[in-house]
Homo-oligomer: A and B are copies of this chain.
Amino acid sequence: MNMSDYKPKHFNWLAQNGVAVITLKGAERKNPITFESYAELGQTFRALSRARDIKVIIFGSNGGNFCSGGDVHDIIGPLLSRDMKGLLEFTRMTGELVKAMRACPQPIIAVIGHGRASELLYTGRVMTAEEGERWGFFNRIVGADKLEADSMAMAQQLANGPTFAHAMTKTMLHQEFAMPLDAAIEAEALAQAVCMQTRDFRRAYEAFVAKQKPQFAGN
């Protein structure tokens, strides 16, 4: 499946050279997240597991902001009139988005600030650094002025790299978190042996011996 030409209804999607940039709509209100964009983001990240042409995802900014959080009028207000069943539908939908982001093989670049990210994902609950690490997103802190250029450069570098191995790294980070250490060491041994049989491993070796830069193909 290819997703370079994907056209979501409730957020913006711009894909080029294996890098997809997601921005939210509504710059005049700092791009609040809505019930609809939550749900469609979840579906999109589920679909990304099967996308062959997308190697890296960026959460980008629209008008200087990524997201103002759950909109008070569009989300918080309506929640007040929901019963427990309705509330759980909402909070589980936000959990589904987190699970889908973890499950997709692509690294996700969100330099948009921890506070902002947490507002998107947890409706106001602050995400700690430990949690951030635990969820296994790839993070790097850069100044706001360099944000977009740095994000894109980092994304392109990842997209041009050994993406099979990147996906394996993301998978192992998540799986090993829940394992006893001896099991994690064995899982790592298997994962490394698998990566050593990719053609990218040979490409890296041959480029090194020839004193050239390797050209990876993600296989």
Using CB atoms and an 8 Å cutoff, list the residues of chain A in contact with chain B: 72-73, 76-77, 79-80, 82, 84, 87-88, 90-92, 94-95, 98-99, 102, 122-123, 125, 128, 130, 133-135, 169, 174, 177-178, 180-182, 185-186, 188-190, 192-193, 196-197, 201-202, 205, 208-209
The 8 Å CB contact of A134, one of B72, B94, B181, B196, is B181
Contact A178 B178 (CB under 8 A): no
- Chain B residues whose C-beta falls within 8 Å of the C-beta of A88 in the assembled complex: 189-190, 193
Instruction: Give min CB distance, A183 to chain B, whole Å.
Output: 10
- Chain B residues whose C-beta falls within 8 Å of the C-beta of A169 in the assembled complex: 125
Instruction: Give min CB distance, A123 to chain B, whole Å.
Output: 7
- Chain B residues whose C-beta falls within 8 Å of the C-beta of A202 in the assembled complex: 80
- Chain B residues whose C-beta falls within 8 Å of the C-beta of A99 in the assembled complex: 182, 185
Instruction: Give min CB distance, A202 to chain B, whole Å.
Output: 6
Contact A180 B178 (CB under 8 A): yes
In the assembled complex, the Cα of A216 lies from the Cα of B169 at a distance in Å of 45
Instruction: Give min CB distance, A30 to chain B, whole Å.
Output: 15
